[in-house]
Chain A
Amino acid sequence: MLFRVNARPVSRCCLAGLFFVLVATPLYAASGVPDWVRTAAHQTLPNFPETTKAVVLLDETTYTVAPDGSAVEHLRHVVKILRPQGREYGYPSVWYDKDSKVLSMHVWSIDPAGHEYALKDNEIQDFSPPGDGGQLYSDDKAKVADPPGRDPGGIVAYEYEKRERPYLAETNWYFQDEIPHVTQSFVLVLPPGYSYTTTWAHHPQTDGIDLENHHYRWDMNNEPAIDLEHIPMRPASGSLEARMTVHYSGPGLAQPQEGTWKGIGEWYDSLAHDRIVATPDISAKAAELTQGKTDFYDKSEAIGDFVQQQIRYFVIEMGVGGYQPHPAADIFRGRYGDCKDKATLLSAMLSSVGIHSALLMVDTQRGVIDPEDPSIHGNHMIAAIEVPQGYESPKLHSVVTAKTGKRYLIFDPTWEKTPFGQLEDNLQGSYGVLLEGANSQVIQLPVLDPKFNSIRRSARFQLDADGTLKGTVTVKRFGDLAERERYLFTHGDAKEQQQYIDRTSSRDFAAASLTDLKAENAEALNKDMTTSYAISASHFATAAGPLLMVRPRVLGSLDIPVDHKARKVGIDLRQTMQASDDFEIELPAGYVVDELPDPVKVDLGFASYESSTEVQGQTLHYKRVYTQREVTLPADKYSELQKLAGIIDNDEQSRAVLKRK
């Protein structure tokens, strides 16, 4: 699956939760472990589940804002490793970039036997993530350390201070993650005359304590882990983990924040407005693409397709470039850019033909953006194209109405295989930030009708008495369910295509030969992606004494990957969809059907499943339709989902029983 993510916004946001400010000289001896580490290490811990790998004993953040708008973070962090797998939590790190500076970093550890260690400065290394297969250049880097004693029972502690110049007058405090946090606090220090407000994601609003002298403190102790390891169909961790966003304002700040989506939008407008400009070249191309078209959808689609297909994805992010797009002219000239670049060029081109659009900040993980927590916490940029008043078209599927009454068609020019007018599945049902200056707001993205994301298999087979099945198969896909195949038949070579089809047959046939593979409409996103092939599968029908066993559901699976455990967290179904199969099997002469699988019909609201097997003359006819109408479910629906998975699995394994006449 194609996955386009701008690493910078998400990493910057995530990192912000780790960074804290130093306000006083650190309290540690030159060669010894500080008392605050020892105190944290020697505390009595509550009982944790046996799956707990490590625990954060102490996490203290101080964030100090200077009158010039710069800020210093100071962090003290102590973690105890509980299991061998917990060693991964014993690598201290602090991220920075060209606009920030790590002023100091100190690392200590205590091994399980109680021996104490302090790392020297030259034992702290610089690290930068590699370039994602050549698609990414980012100036994000980290200082990391590998302290001794990282064993179960061991303690790793670090302290750092980092100076930064926030692009926006906000900072995030992430006080929950996949391991428990015992003691943690966040202290905000503001200059005189400044004020602040907080917003909270996945957590009730909690007031801070006024420590006087513009110091404010929040404590958040004994936060349980959000441990999603081994949970099938799990939601994104970021959609569950609690976080606090601090917004502040004061004299001299160019973009003071008061904790509103409007404030976020106005800040972003100041970054991007001058970049969304159609140069003569851009206007000429837009005119060329829309020549002869008068309809809003047709014009938008022509430009949308161009940006989606002709602007190559390549990310260059330095400093504020993690948020600010490149000028549309540069993107158009080089024919490459990242998500916000592509959305920017799309907006510029649309504007040149009289269509207004706005950028829409989203997160590729559903549920991470919380409508209650105005913030720049998102990792992806798409476009919201304003639909003219009174305009209606059956092609408009992904439409949202804003509080202003304006309607927007939501489109992601970065997602290369999602048809214009639709929205990729992982964004559906999520929230996004409509960046419309003073009218900026958070909007919920639509969940599309299942019929716009479909797979339809049809096949005609002949079954020989020796169990060999021969026939032809046609598979039509539309929407995101066609993504992999469209990619394969536009990007893969003939060998890869054949191997893929061969592999997909391996689950249903022990010995199959697939030939005459054909594909249509791989590039035409608004048409069915159609593949067809001939198949010959020996041993398909198997003898059991005097009986011949035939699986009417010949191929294709609707596997729902549930487990047998009780569920505590919500369920991510990934997408709405509809799948249908229609298979005919001409039975061998001399055999008669003795028994057929029972028909199935179940509708659980969020999904329905219906199948039937009939025999007409010497032909077995299997039909089924599966419809999935939701993208998420609450945890208490898990038993229903388990039941549905069992019903489908049972139907897929069912056999028709043939006997000799």
Chain B
Amino acid sequence: MRAGLLLAVALAPVVAHAADPFLKPTKEELEMKSLPGYPGAAAVVLFREEISKDDLHVFQNYNRIKILTEEGKKYANVELGFVSSSASAYMENGDDKMVGDIIGRTIHADGTIIPFTGKPYLKVIEKTKGYKVREKVFTLPDVEVGSIIEYRYSTRYNDYVYEAPDWYIQGDLYLKAAHYVWYPTGHEMTDGATGEAINSISWLPILPPGTELVHRDLPGTDAVGRVLRVYELNIKDVPPQTEEEFMPPIASFSYRVLFNFTPYRTPAEYWKSRGKVWSKSVDGFAGPNSDLRSATESIIAGANTQDEKLRKIYAAVMALENTSYTRAHEQREDKAEGLGKVSNASDVLSHKRGDSAQLTELFVGMARAAGMKAYMMLVPDRSSELFAPGRMSFSQFSDLIAIVNVDGKEQFFAPGSRYCPYARLPWEDTVAQGLRQVEGGTDFGHTTEENYKDNKTVRIANLKMDEHGGITGKINITFDGAPALHWRQQALQGDEESIKHSLRTSLEEMLPKTLEVKVSEIHGISDYEKPLTVDYEVKGTLGTPTGKRLVLPVDLFRAGSTATFTHEKRELAVYFHYPQMTQDALRINFPANFSIEGSPASSRVDMKGSGLYNMTVTPAPTNVTVRRDFIFNDLFVMPKNYPGLRSFYSQFEAKDQESIVLKVAPVEASTSAGPEVK
């Protein structure tokens, strides 16, 4: 009887599909030509259904898409990717996943139905001894603008595997309606990673207001008649995800429901328990063991204060090869060099290399060996992700940083970020929430904020113009904070030739094209505690001549710039990576046959509390000096404040494009250059 019921449940969808696997198109769907509110939309998802049946080890999918433009035809090309894994310590039997049961059809606007009779192709994307990445590929026939395309498929996975579904609802198309159902298993399970008994299902719902995940109970079908809880979501009219320039890293916050099988009842319980496991693991690696204590003692010899000791430790760690910027070495390479397996932080020190996380662990281990309280913290890389505590996954974190109590005050460090200065963080790790070690466990924490003064670029140009408008001179650019770290880490990817090329082209893109640039010297590319300075030589011509005048751009460094905020409308907040300051100082010395006829008035543009721009032009008989300061101190500007932001940028970017007008007179005598601008 029970077996019969199971069989009936198992066959129910098959029977239903055999009868009528597709929905009948409505008159409105057939006649639909556009999507109100979204002019020019390529296509619209009329209906999507995802049904997950654990005990049948299958995900069933159904998609109905109305094609509205030529661009929409691309949705008829379908790639269904899936990953299979071999048996491992994590998964005893492996998971030989397969996509199948593909059926589909195209319906023209006049109701003509063209069934998909082709063969889906199986393509192996990557195959290693541990896993296979494959995809099924097919295209639906005779697709026109106005067609409805629809297809069903199933993803089947191994009998010994249960996989909680992730419902990604919001995508690049408007979704008219969707239906999601999960029939979780009632079997007893253990977590593949920890071996803990699974006793809960958790979910992270990010849903529009008024939409709720519902659950209902079904009578149990197993030997003890356990009730099965079914999760279901019906949702309508979901807009596509917004894409804008300077948008915050919110891709992971689109509408979705992410489920987990979990031994924990709440996210707080999860983070507390898993945090302990993580903390124990990294502490186990960091130590310090006796070797590391001994090594630390010799490194900090002569230092008196905690700060002095930690600076020595930081410098020692920073001197090691960071393989995250070069190449990870295999165990056999270590062996060939007479090195053993890397089991702890002391091994990293003896190997003289490690990846970013290992170097951070080493730094913390040595700080502890030096008698300081030191902790580790996991943070997301906020260039691409923000941390959501409600989501029970460590995959949100990408960086490991250190916190050390120095002379009674906690400071943040990024020894795993090569060339990051002492007691600083790369901007990607600042102003971020993460998971940190505390005494006796873990807790959520926040990293530090930065000020515009922390990230500064100073550009100085001293140029000399000859009687014919020819220019020679020097440019000096000093980078401090995030810009310096950017260039130093870029240098790690290549060599002197490549970093010189990048620095040269970077300046060439700023300057008028008539100037030829050469990098003459780079100061302090690896001296990370000091600003990075680059000396350039430039030559060429400058300005555009008219009959009796020469018109010069007021700020050479902005000659190649374009308007930043061109769009009048804005839906999302504007997101800047870090607060920053740029100071320009330019002097152009010219001969006696030139004189200044006109120059821009000094200007100050203030975006209260957020940004400040100041430019002064100081004319003299044989030279002109331009000083420009730009400060922006905010990370986020909300949409309601976008007009003000756009106005601020427009005003100063227009000012940057103004001109200095030199009057040309017959050449009478040569003129010596004025003093250098500082």
Residue positions of A touching B, CB distance < 8 A? 50-51, 83-85, 87, 111, 113, 115, 117, 122, 125-128, 130-131, 133-135, 137-139, 141, 148-152, 230, 310, 312, 314, 316, 333-336, 490-499, 502-503, 505-507, 509-513, 538-539, 542-547, 549, 564, 595-598, 645-646, 649-650, 653-655, 657
Interface pair B568/A513, CB less than 8 Å apart: yes
Q: Does B42 contact A (CB under 8 A)?
A: yes
User: 9 A–B contact pairs at CB < 8 A?
Assistant: A50-B497, A83-B494, A115-B333, A127-B126, A310-B144, A494-B38, A502-B567, A507-B562, A657-B551
Task: Decide: A539 near B566, CB < 8 A? Known: A87-B327, A122-B129.
Answer: no
The 5 closest A-B pairs by CB, nearest first: A545-B598, A539-B654, A511-B650, A493-B40, A134-B77
A34 to chain B, nearest CB (A): 18
Q: Which of A128, A148, A538 contacts B125 (CB 8 A)?
A: A128
Those of B574-630 within 8 Å (CB) of chain A: 596-601
Complex contact B76–A544 (CB within 8 A): no
In chain A, what residue has the closest Cβ to B598? Answer: A545
Is B563's CB within 8 Å of the partner chain A? yes
**Complex Cα spacing A564 to B70, Å:** 43
Q: Is the CB of A83 within 8 A of B330?
A: no
In the bound complex, how far is the Cα of B554 from the Cα of A549, in angstroms?
A: 13
Measured CB to CB, the closest approach of chain B to A218, in angstroms, equals 34
A655 proximity list for chain B (CB < 8 A): 544, 546, 551, 659
Is B546 a contact of A596 with CB atoms below 8 Å? yes
Q: Is the C-beta of B118 less than 8 angstroms from some C-beta in chain A?
A: yes
> CB distance B654 to A510 under 8 Å?
yes
User: A50-B497, A497-B40 are known contacts. Are A149 and B333 too (CB-CB below 8 A)?
Assistant: yes
A-contact 0/1 string along B131-149, CB 8 Å cutoff: 0000101010111100000
Report chain B residues within 8 Å CB of A316. 121
The answer to whether B563 and A490 have CB atoms under 8 Å apart is: no
Among B40, B123, B599, the residue within 8 A (CB) of A128 is: B123
**B137: which of A117, A131, A546, A549 is its contact (CB, 8 Å)?**
A131
Q: Give bound CA distance, A141 to B141, whole Å.
A: 27
The reply to whether A544 and B600 contact each other, CB–CB distance below 8 Å, is yes
Q: Which of B135-188 contact A (CB under 8 A)?
A: 135, 137, 139, 141-144
B74 within 8 A of A: yes
- Asked if B141 contacts A336 (CB within 8 A), the reply is yes
Residues of A within 8 A of B568 (CB): 502, 513
* Residue of A51, A130, A598 most packed against chain B (CB within 10 A): A130
Across the interface, name the chain B residue whose C-beta is closest to A134.
B77
In the complex, the answer to whether A113 meets B337 with C-beta atoms within 8 Å is: yes
Docked complex Cα distance between A512 and B137 (Å): 45
B70 and A491 contact, CB distance less than 8 A: yes
Neighbouring B residues of A542 by C-beta, 8 Å: 600, 654, 657-659
Say yes or no: is B232 at the interface (Cβ < 8 Å to chain A): no
* Chain B: CB-nearest residue to A143: B127
CA distance A127 to B91 in the complex (A): 24
List 4 other contacts, CB 8 Å, given A113-B337, A491-B71: A334-B118, A335-B142, A498-B567, A657-B551
Q: How far is the CB of A642 from chain B (nearest CB, A)?
A: 10
Whether B514 contacts A127 by the Cβ 8 Å rule is no
Contact partners of B514 in chain A: CB under 8 A: 646, 649-650
List B contacts of A133 (CB < 8 A).
Answer: 74, 77
Q: Which residues of A contact B446 (CB under 8 A)?
A: none
B349 at the interface (CB under 8 A from A): no
Known: A134-B78, A148-B332. A545 touches B599 (CB 8 A): yes
Q: How many Å from the CB of B270 to the closest CB on chain A?
A: 34
Residues in B with CB closer than 8 Å to A512 are 563, 566
Q: Which residues of A contact B567 (CB under 8 A)?
A: 498-499, 502
Contact across chains for B137 and A134 when beta carbons are under 8 A apart: yes
Interface centre among B144, B329, B493, B497 (most CB of A within 10 A): B497
| Docked pose: A117 CA to B333 CA in angstroms | 8
- A645 contacts across to B, CB distance below 8 A: 513
Q: Pick the contact of B563: A117, A131, A335, A509 (CB < 8 A).
A: A509
A606 to B194, CA, bound (A): 71
Across the interface, which residues of B come within 8 angstroms of A126, CB to CB? 124, 126-128
Using CB atoms, name the residue of chain A closest to B77. Answer: A134
Write out the residue numbers on chain B whose beta carbons fall within 8 Å of the beta carbon of A128. Answer: 123-126
Q: Tell me, rounded to whole Å, the shortest Cβ–Cβ distance linking A441 to chain B.
A: 35
Residues 61-79 of chain B, each 1 if its beta carbon lies under 8 Å from chain A, else 0: 0000000011101101111
The answer to whether the Cβ of B41 comes within 8 Å of any Cβ in the partner chain is yes
Q: Are B139 and A597 in contact (CB under 8 A)?
A: no
Bound together, the chains give a CA A507 to CA B509 distance in angstroms of: 13
The listed residue (A115, A149, A312, A653) touching B73 by CB distance below 8 A is A312
CB pair B139–A314 under 8 Å, yes or no, is yes
Closest Cβ neighbor of A314 among chain B residues: B139
Q: Which residues of A contact B336 (CB under 8 A)?
A: 111, 113, 115, 117
Residue among B330, B566, B651 making CB contact with A148, cutoff 8 Å: B330
**Cβ A490 vs Cβ B70 within 8 A:** yes
CB nearest to B563 among chain A residues: A506
Give B131 Cβ to nearest chain A Cβ, in Å.
Answer: 10
Set of chain B residues within 8 Å of A646, measured between Cβ atoms = 513-514
Cα distance A127–B126 in the bound complex, in angstroms: 4
Contact A127 B125, CB 8 Å, known A134-B78, A512-B566 = yes
**Nearest opposing residue in chain A for B120, CB measure:** A137
Kindly list chain A residues whose C-beta atoms are within 8 Å of the C-beta of B73: 312
Note all chain B residues with C-beta closer than 8 A to A494: 38-40
A-contacting residues, B69-112, CB 8 Å = 69-71, 73-74, 76-79
Docked-complex contact B69 and A491, CB < 8 angstroms? yes
- Distance of A655 from chain B, by nearest CB (Å): 5
Q: How far is the CA of A336 from the CA of B147 in the complex (A)?
A: 15
B40 touches A492 (CB 8 A): yes
Q: Which of A84, A115, A544, A595 contacts B599 (CB 8 A)?
A: A544
Q: Are A125 and B327 in contact (CB under 8 A)?
A: no
Q: How far is the CA of A596 from the CA of B547 in the complex (A)?
A: 8
Q: Which residue of A lies closest to B71 (CB)?
A: A491
Is B549 in contact with chain A by the CB < 8 A criterion?
yes
User: Contact at B142–A333, with CB atoms within 8 Å?
Assistant: yes
Chain B neighbourhood of A507, CB < 8 A: 562-563
Closest beta carbon of chain A to B390's beta carbon, Å: 31
B135 to chain A, nearest CB (A): 7
Q: Which residues of A contact B69 (CB under 8 A)?
A: 490-491, 493
Task: Judge whether B77 and A135 touch: CB under 8 Å.
Answer: yes
Tell me which residues across on chain A come within 8 A of B497, comparing CB atoms.
50-51, 83
Q: Which of B139, B144, B326 neighbours the largest number of chain A CB atoms within 10 Å of its CB?
A: B139
Q: Choose among A134, A495, A654 the residue that contacts B79 (Cβ–Cβ < 8 A).
A: A134
Q: Within 8 Å CB of B330, what residues of A?
A: 148
Given the interface pairs A111-B336, A543-B601, the reply to whether A492 lies near B141 with Cβ below 8 Å is: no
A539 partner residues in chain B, CB cutoff 8 A: 650-651, 654-655, 657
**Does B661 belong to the interface (CB within 8 Å)?**
yes
Whole-angstrom distance between the Cβ of A172 and the nearest chain B Cβ? 26
Determine the chain A residues whose CB is within 8 A of the CB of B601 once the complex forms: 543
Whether a CB of chain A sits under 8 angstroms from the CB of B660 is: yes
For A598, what are the chain B residues with a Cβ–Cβ distance below 8 Å? 545-547
A141 engages B40 (CB within 8 Å): no
B530 CB-CB contact with A under 8 Å? no
Contact call B650/A538, Cβ cutoff below 8 A: yes
